[in-house]
C-alpha cells in the first residue's frame, strides 16, 4: 500500500506552517508517500499569462527540483526558505517521498478545502497561528475552517512559540 497516500501540508512558510511540515515528516509521512505542499497566495500576479489560466484551478503540480529553484518560485509569487527546503529534501531522500507543490490564489480557507477534494488528499496537516479568541472571531481561523469543512482527516499542529 506504499505510494498510495497523498499527505498534504498547508504551507505559507511561516514558523507555524514549518512546524506543521516538520511534524508531518517526522510523524506521518511513510516511505513512498506523496507529500503535497498546498500553498495559497492572496494576490494573483499576472506577470505571465499562465497564472491567469491557473487562478481557477491552481497551478500544475510542481516537483521538488522546481520548488528548490528560486527563479521558478518567483514566477509563481512564492517565497520559500532554506529551512523548509531542507526539510523537503530530507524527507524526499530519507523516505523516498515524492514531494510536489500545488499553488492556489485566493482565500486560504476555501482554497485549502478545494485542494483536499481536487488533488485529492488522504489527510492534511496545517499549522495554527495561535490567534487569541477575539482575533479568531474577527479574522477567522483558517485551521478551524478547514477542520470543520475539509473532507479528509485534518491535523492541526500548534507550534511551541505560540503556546500560552
Q: What is the pLDDT of residues 35-57, one digit of tens each?
A: 999 999 987 665 555 566 677 78
29 lies in a domain?
A: yes
Phi-psi region at 136: left, alpha or beta (left = phi > 0; alpha = psi -120 to 50): alpha
Tell me if 88 sits within 8 A of 99, measured CB to CB: yes
45 lies in a domain?
A: yes
How high is the pLDDT of residue 164?
Answer: 41
10 lies in a domain?
A: yes
Looking at the structure of the chain, the number of domains it has is 1
For residue 9, the surrounding DSSP H or E stretch is strand 6-10
Residue 136 has pLDDT above 80, yes or no: no
Instruction: Tell me if residue 141 falls in helix, strand or coil.
Output: coil
124 lies in a domain?
A: yes
Query: Does this model's pTM top 0.75?
Result: yes
Q: What does the DSSP assignment read for 21-78?
A: HHHHHHHT--TT-EEEEEEEESS---SSHHHHHHTTT-PPPEEHHHHT-HHHHHHHT-
113 lies in a domain?
A: yes
146 lies in a domain?
A: yes
144 lies in a domain?
A: yes
Residue with cell 500576479: 45
1 lies in a domain?
A: no
> Domain of 117?
6-162
How high is the pLDDT of residue 52?
Answer: 64
CATH code of the domain containing 118: 3.40.50.620
147 grid coordinates: 477542520
Angle at 17 between CA 9 and CA 50, to 5 degrees: 60
Amino acid at each position: 500500500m506504499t505510494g498510495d497516500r497523498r499527505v498534504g501540508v498547508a504551507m505559507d512558510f511561516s514558523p507555524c506552517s514549518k512546524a506543521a511540515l516538520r511534524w508531518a515528516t517526522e510523524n506521518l509521512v511513510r516511505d513512498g508517500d506523496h507529500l503535497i505542499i498546498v500553498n495559497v497566495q492572496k494576490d494573483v500576479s499576472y506577470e505571465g499569462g499562465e497564472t491567469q489560466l491557473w487562478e481557477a484551478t491552481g497551478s500544475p503540480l510542481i516537483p521538488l527540483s522546481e520548488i528548490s529553484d528560486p527563479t521558478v518560485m518567483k514566477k509563481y509569487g512564492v517565497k520559500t526558505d532554506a529551512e523548509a527546503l531542507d526539510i523537503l529534501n530530507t524527507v524526499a531522500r530519507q523516505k523516498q517521498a515524492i514531494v510536489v507543490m500545488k499553488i492556489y490564489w485566493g482565500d486560504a480557507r476555501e482554497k485549502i478545502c478545494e485542494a483536499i477534494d481536487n488533488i485529492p488528499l488522504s489527510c492534511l496537516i496545517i499549522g495554527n497561528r495561535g490567534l487569541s479568541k477575539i482575533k479568531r472571531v474577527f479574522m477567522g481561523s483558517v485551521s478551524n475552517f478547514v477542520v470543520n469543512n475539509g473532507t479528509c482527516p485534518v491535523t492541526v499542529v500548534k507550534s511551541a512559540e505560540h503556546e500560552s
